[in-house]
Amino acid sequence: MATQHSRAAARLMISPAVLLLLAWMIVPLAMTLYFSTLRYNLLMPGANPFVGWENYHYFLTDPAFTTALVNTLLLVGGVLVITVVGGILLGLLLDQPFWGQGIVRILVIAPFFVMPTVSALVWKNMFMNPVNGLFAYLFKAVGLQPFDFLAQAPLASIILIVSWQWLPFATLILLTALQSLDSEQLEAAEMDGAGFFSKFFFIMLPHLARAITVVILIQTIFLLSIFAEILVTTNGGPGLASTNLTYLVYAQSLLQFDVGLGSAGGIVAVILANIVAIFLMRMIGKNLDA
């Protein structure tokens, strides 16, 4: 029985953890908020006067901001599309019985265990490098000019790298969901005259809706803050072509030593992430309590 006493006791007992988490979040957030209102540049030591919205004004009117915002959305959207579609297809494939199923399933999960910097470097140097890379080799093998991925299509290349990392996660969740589909439902649909595509769109996809929602929500949270992959491959360039918000904040606060501007950017990024989160929850959250 959940009496008032036990509820009060429960609150009391989780409070240290909650307080710790709160402090963990509140202190940096408060400091960032504070810094974002100062003119605080490490190259100009001295007084750090309070300047109010000035940093925000600079950050939001900087043309780099719009570019970074668009890049962030493209990056998140692109990776989501690739991983969800790819995850469903791979899930369907892996759900079929075939020889060596167990090993193949483990192999599919493997990319998830490789840390982002390492995988990005592997992609950069071993696959996409225009001189030594595997892709360059393949291009040359069929007599084409090697394509310099990171210079000519930087954002697309990063989307590719990040998708490769997240595809296993999506596949794993969607495969599990597929396996939980009652086989009698598929048989009933078959008897009702549904072909493969009808079965997929009318039975499987609705069944997967919840799992897809989970994949999208979780991935979005992580994809909004992609950083390492950009740092080790393109450094946000050429120009701003592969700079997302996270990278822009980094560039402004640490490359230009402008703590105030960087902090303002960080706050803007936090607000944008929350807007995206609310938007997503609204849009697909109804799937979760169906």
Partner 1 sequence: MGNITLSKVTKSFGDVQVIPPLDLDIREGEFVVFVGPSGCGKSTLLRLIAGLEDVTSGEIRIDDRNATELPPAKRGLAMVFQSYALYPHMSVRKNIAFPLRMAGLDKAEQDRKVEAAAKVLNLTDYLDRRPGQLSGGQRQRVAIGRAIVREPAAFLFDEPLSNLDAALRVGMRLEISELHERLKTTMIYVTHDQVEAMTMADKIVVLRAGNIEQVGSPLELYHKPRNLFVAGFIGSPKMNLISGAEAAKHDAKHIGIRPEHLKASKESGVWKGRVGVSEHLGSDTFIHVHDTGLAVGEEDMVTVRCDGEMDARHGDTIWLTPDMERLHRFDDKGLRIT
Kindly state the smallest distance separating residue 289's Cβ from partner 1, in Å: 13
If one asks whether residue 49 binds partner 1 (CB under 8 A), the answer comes out as: no
Kindly state the smallest distance separating residue 158's Cβ from partner 1, in Å: 36
DSSP lists the bridge partners of residue 41 as 258
Piece of the chain touching partner 1 by CB under 8 A; list 116-124, 125-133, 165-173, 201-209: 201-209
If one asks whether residue 289 binds partner 1 (CB under 8 A), the answer comes out as: no
DSSP state letter for 200? I
If one asks whether residue 274 binds partner 1 (CB under 8 A), the answer comes out as: no
Piece of the chain touching partner 1 by CB under 8 A; list 29-37, 53-61, 188-196, 215-223: 188-196
Per CB under 8 A, the list member of 73, 194, 273, 284 interacting with partner 1 is 194
Residue in the structure block whose two tokens are 């919840």: 210
Q: Which is nearer to partner 1, 53 or 202 (CB)?
A: 202
Q: Which of residues 156-185 bind partner 1 (CB under 8 A)?
A: 182, 184-185
Kindly state the smallest distance separating residue 193's Cβ from partner 1, in Å: 4
Piece of the chain touching partner 1 by CB under 8 A; list 34-42, 130-138, 200-208, 223-231: 200-208
Q: Which is nearer to partner 1, 194 or 231 (CB)?
A: 194
Q: How many helices (H) and strands (E) does the chain have?
A: 14, 0
If one asks whether residue 198 binds partner 1 (CB under 8 A), the answer comes out as: yes
Q: What distance in Å separates the CA atoms of residue 32 and residue 27, rounded to the nearest whole number?
A: 9
If one asks whether residue 188 binds partner 1 (CB under 8 A), the answer comes out as: yes
Burial category of 228 from C-beta neighbours within 10 Å (exposed 0-12, middle 13-18, buried 19 and up): middle
Kindly state the smallest distance separating residue 184's Cβ from partner 1, in Å: 4
Q: Do 245 and 262 touch, CB atoms closer than 8 A?
A: no
CA distances from 251 to 57, 165, 171, 256, 257 (A): 17, 24, 34, 7, 8
Amino acid (one-letter) located at 171? T
CA distances from 71 to 65, 186, 265 (A): 10, 41, 15
Q: What distance in Å separates the CA atoms of residue 15 and residue 198, rounded to the nearest whole number?
A: 51
If one asks whether residue 192 binds partner 1 (CB under 8 A), the answer comes out as: yes
Piece of the chain touching partner 1 by CB under 8 A; list 118-126, 197-205, 215-223, 266-274: 197-205
Residue in the structure block whose two tokens are 């230009």: 256
Q: Which is nearer to partner 1, 208 or 226 (CB)?
A: 208
If one asks whether residue 207 binds partner 1 (CB under 8 A), the answer comes out as: yes
Classify each residue of 130-151 as buried b or exposed e, where b means 16 or more C-beta atoms within 10 Å of its C-beta.
Answer: beebebbeeeeeeeeebebbbe
Residues forming contacts to partner 1 in the complex (CB under 8 A) are 182, 184-185, 187-194, 198, 202-203, 206-207, 209, 290
